[in-house]
Structure formats: structure tokens, C-alpha cells
Amino acid sequence: MIIWSRWGILAFPFIGIGVAIGFGLKALLLPADTPSDVNGVFVGVGMLVAAVLLLIAVKLLVGKVIDKPQPAYFSERLPAPETTEHGTTRTHRQVAVRHPETGQQVYTNPQSTLFFIPLRFVPFVIAGLGVVIIVVNMIGLMSGS
């Protein structure tokens, strides 16, 4: 089963970058002999940073570079089969879809998704996951386990 469509896979590198940023922040801010119990908090912070970076990437790319509106076409059956210049027989042709009232070309808006969530909403899911990771790990640190 494919869990992403189009550019939805773009979220996975950002999640990896977020985890790496979290461990990098821990190494930068805390001494090397710090127990590994605090790793989760920093991973959560890294996920928040990754969510912000993905949000910026989505704002810059979606609709402009990726998932641009594309003209819609449909396949129209020809009255009689035609032979092309390459010797193949053609029974259908591509025809642009026109709006019935205005006659304007109709465009489709392709959508990149991850787990059926549009890519433009994924940064908020990642940020929510980061907050949950931080809260759960902070509760664990405070309870001493």
C-alpha cells in the first residue's frame, strides 16, 4: 500500500532532519554524560523545527513548483480508426475539457498527500506529534521513570 501520493513523500526527509536536529541540539546544549532520558524532549523540539521547515517549503513549493494546476483532458472516441505517421492505429484522441458556460479550459488541482492528509496540513501534524513527544517525555522525566 502506498502511503503517499505525488510529493507527499517530501515529509519523510523533514522528519529525519527534525530528529537529527533534536539530537544535535542535545549534543550542543548538554554535556556528553547526560542520561539518555532527555533524548525524547530534544527529539520533540527537533520535530517542531522540522514542522516549521516543512511549512516554509510547502508555502514556497506547493502550487508554484509542485501540484501546479494542470489542464484537464478527456479521451474522445474517433468515428473511425486512424493510422498515425508511425503506423499505429488510433481509436481515441485527447480533447481539452471546456467549461460548458464560459468555454474556458478546465484545470485540475493535483494534490500531494501523506496518509491521505494533504501535504499543506502535514506540518501541523508533525508539530502536534512533536508537542506530544515533548509532553510525554517531560511527564516521564518529572515522575522519575
pLDDT at site 140: 84
Q: What are the pLDDT digits (tens) for 33-74?
A: 777 777 888 899 999 999 999 999 998 888 777 877 888 888
Do the strands 113-114 and 117-118 form a parallel or antiparallel pair, or are they unpaired? antiparallel
- pLDDT band at 20, cuts 50/70/90? very high
* Residues in CB range of 43: below 8 A, 6 or more apart: 18, 19, 22, 23, 133, 137
Q: What is the reported pTM?
A: 0.72
Q: What are the pLDDT digits (tens) for 76-131?
A: 888 888 888 888 888 888 888 888 888 888 888 888 888 888 888 999 999 999 99
